[in-house]
Structure 1
Amino acid sequence: MFSRLTVVRRLPQLTATSKRFASSLKEGSVAQSKGFSEKERAHENEYARRHEAQQLEKIKAEIEKKKTELNQLQAQHDAELAKAGKE
């Protein structure tokens, strides 16, 4: 009459809980925010302007050097023409 009774023992279930921070921002959203991208763009623009200004200064210095060299060559040429005209 009695049917076999089986006793089932259940192990306590462990649940893993993760900490959640109350924030409306998603992970990585700081880099995507408008203020951050504007600031980054401003830094890049400043670097580009500074780099271009340095390159322009180098080019201007090279132009001045070439102008003085040209003036010296022109003076030598004039001296040779004057020397050749006297002979």
Structure 2
Amino acid sequence: MLATRISVARRLPSLFAARGYSTGRSEGSVAQSQGFNKKEKAHEDQYVRQHEQQLIQKMKADIAKKQAELEDLQKQHSELEKKKD
């Protein structure tokens, strides 16, 4: 009787077939379309370019301020040198 139970238990896994998944279509296929990916990439690239342009403008303004400050300091230094002599 024990032998019968074991043989039945061994056959059980073979009764269940493994499900085969197709590779043709996946979840969220709309989000994976090429048109959507291109559009999303274009929006991201546009945002990055705008952000970089804003940063460059800010840096140019900072450079102009520093140059004006440097010129002012150089004038003060030359005036002090003249008074010293």
Task: Find the aligned partners of 2:30 and 2:40 in 1 and give their Cα distance.
Answer: 12
Residue in 1 that maps onto 2:45:
45
Is 1:61 aligned to 2:68, yes or no? no
Secondary structure in structure 2 of the residue aligned to 1:29 = coil
Alignment RMSD: 1.4
| Alignment partner, residue 80 of structure 2 | 80
CA distance in 2 between partners of 1:71 and 1:27 (Å):
63
Normalised by the size of structure 1, how large is the TM-score?
A: 0.66
Greater gyration radius: 1
- Which stretches of structure 1, 4 residues or longer, exceed 4 Å deviation after superposition? none
- Structure 1, residues 15-50: CA drift from partner, whole Å, max 9, x if none? xxxxxxxxxx86521110000000000000000000
**CA–CA separation in structure 2 for the residues paired with 1:59 and 1:48:** 16
Could you tell me how far apart the structure 1 residues matched to 2:42 and 2:55 are? 20
CA–CA distance in 1 between the matches of 2:26 and 2:82? 82
Q: TM-score, normalised by structure 2?
A: 0.68
Counterpart for residue 30 of structure 1: 30
Q: Report the Cα distance in structure 2 between the residues aligned to 1:52 and 1:76, rounded to whole angstroms.
A: 36
Q: Which amino acid aligns with 1:71?
A: E
Aligned residues: 61
Judging by fraction of residues, say which structure has more helix. Answer: 2
The separation in 2 between residues aligned to 1:52 and 1:26, in whole angstroms, is: 36
